[in-house]
Amino acid sequence: MIPLLVTKVSSSRNTLGRIAAIAAAGSCFWYAGSKLDSGSSVVLSIPAALSEPLFLPWQTAHGFTIHPSGAFDHQKLGLSFCSSRVSPAPPSGVEKEKPGDTQKPCPRCLDRDTIANAAADVGPAVVNISVSHGIYGIATAKSMGSGTIIDKDGTILTCAHVVTDFHGPRAASKGKVEVTLQDGRTFEGTVMNADFHSDIAIVKINSKSPLPMAKLGSSSKLRPGDWVVAIGCPLSLQNTVTAGIVSCVDRKSSDLGLGGMRREYLQTDCAINVGNSGGPLVNVDGEVIGVNIMKVDDAVGLSFAVPIDSVSKITEQFKKRGRVIRPWLGLKMIDLNEMIIEQLKERDTSFPDVTKGVLVAMVTPGSPASRAGFRPGDVVIEFDKQPVGSIQEIIEIMGDRVGVPLKAVVKRSLNSTITLTVLPEESNPDM
């Protein structure tokens, strides 16, 4: 119910009487001063369905001014309170609901069971991962994380930092971990693969009885504002569910001050804490669309997950090669848009006439790009015969092709066009 403030009310008893009668009939609240003298004001809280038909004609005929007033304290205003509840008549042309009729929920609407249903779909497949730490075979401490069973054969998706030891830039597998299911069953898990740069790992358990499995969705369909659910074991509290929205669908690692190779994350405002790492980020359809990986300390509502589309590519490489291969060109690039292009043209009139592309900001000496003839200031408009407008598109076109010649069409100052052939190398994992 939206309270509305009505001013300039006539002191005529007839006018006030009509207002009171309509207020009572409209199932609203009437706040009035103790004395109905000249200059009195009346505040009516009118249901939204009745506010237009009741007040808009009056505004013209009687000079009333209506202002949304929001929440207010009638006691502070020295106003008395009275209320009348009368069921409003249904709008014309709308049939009354018959006893036993049930209204079907909107297929894409969020109702009271949406979050609970999504959590129930994925929850049984969420596991707690415990890793022992010690020296000379003597356990001195345990670290906890989360994971998701993504295959009935016992394949578990989690974070690399949950199941690996980091020594500088390299990660060494711990080998064996303890996995506890939501139903209480405990298994010894084996770390099969771990990728340091993406912080994604695969753990395998063996079970004679059936295992629950989560369904994977698509992160490419997400939009800022979409509802999501985070499930995991924060602070060793198993089976914890939190909910929030997607804040950003392509938060870049450089935005977070993370060096090394370019990575993109889903940013959400779900509550994430120590122990949530490796747990699933789920959409309202009960599909895993990300792997929770980190949060910002001393900040509220800043959590990050690896998009499931990126995770799927990593797991495919795990199956194919046992590791992730990333091609390297030796270019530092910037995505171009209309505003950036316009600004660059203002600074340098010789800047090429393009509507989109990727600007080469720096070329690493001795790199594949340097040998191919790339220069700072080049604008890549085609890569492997496909038009490109972003760095991500170039990365996707390269895929895992190492040692395969790829042609790039670039534009240079004064609109000169040149085709370069570059031979990607495998990136150094210590970079």
What pLDDT was estimated at residue 177? 92
Alpha-helical segments (H) within 123-191: 160-163
What pLDDT was estimated at residue 429? 59
What pLDDT was estimated at residue 312? 96
Domain 327-426's class?
Answer: mainly beta
pTM exceeds 0.85 for this model: no
Listed range (78-87, 317-326, 387-396) with the worst mean pLDDT: 78-87
Q: Which of 212, 232, 340 is nearest to 277 (CA)?
A: 232
What pLDDT was estimated at residue 33? 43
Give the mean model confidence (pLDDT) for residues 184-206: 94
CATH code: domain 221-309 is 2.40.10.10
Query: Catalytic annotation on 199?
Result: yes
Residue 83 CB coordination number (10 Å): 12
Which residue among the candidates 277, 303, 310, 427 is catalytic per the annotation? 277
Res. 126: pLDDT tops 60: yes
Res. 113: pLDDT tops 60: yes
Considering only residues 164 and 141, tell me which one the structure prediction assigns the higher pLDDT.
164
Res. 419: pLDDT tops 80: yes
Would you state the structure tokens that stand for residue 253, as one six-digit string? Answer: 């690692």
Listed range (67-81, 168-182, 315-329, 388-402) with the worst mean pLDDT: 67-81
Domain 327-426 in the same topology as domain 2-83? no
- For the chain, the residue count is 431
pLDDT digits (tens, 9 = 90+) for 225-271: 999 999 999 988 888 999 999 999 999 988 888 877 788 999 999 99
| % of the chain exceeding 90 in pLDDT | 58
What pLDDT was estimated at residue 431? 52
What pLDDT was estimated at residue 239? 87
Query: Catalytic annotation on 67?
Result: no
Q: Which of 87, 174, 97 is nearest to 130 (CA)?
A: 174
Residue 416 main-chain phi, psi, to 5 deg: -75, 140
Which residue among the candidates 121, 195, 199, 378 is catalytic per the annotation? 199
Considering only residues 164 and 397, tell me which one the structure prediction assigns the higher pLDDT.
397
Q: Which fold has domain 120-204?
A: Thrombin, subunit H (2.40.10)
User: Which residue type sits at 211?
Assistant: L
Which residue among the candidates 161, 247, 378, 427 is catalytic per the annotation? 161
b/e sequence 287-299, b meaning 16+ C-beta within 10 Å: bbbbbbbbbeeee
pLDDT band at 107 (very low <50, low <70, confident <90, very high): low
pLDDT digits (tens, 9 = 90+) for 341-371: 999 999 999 999 999 999 999 999 999 999 9
Average pLDDT of every residue of the chain: 79
What pLDDT was estimated at residue 3? 43
Query: Catalytic annotation on 277?
Result: yes
Res. 38: pLDDT tops 60: no
- Domain spans, the chain: 2-83, 120-204, 221-309, 327-426
Please state which of the four CATH numbers 3.30.1450, 3.90.350, 3.30.70, 2.40.128 is assigned to the domain occupying 2-83. Answer: 3.30.70
Rounded CA separation 55/65 (Å): 9
3-state DSSP of 209-254: CCCCCCEECCHHHCCCCCEEEEEECHHHCCCEEEEEEEEEEEEEHH
pLDDT digits (tens, 9 = 90+) for 273-285: 999 999 999 999 9
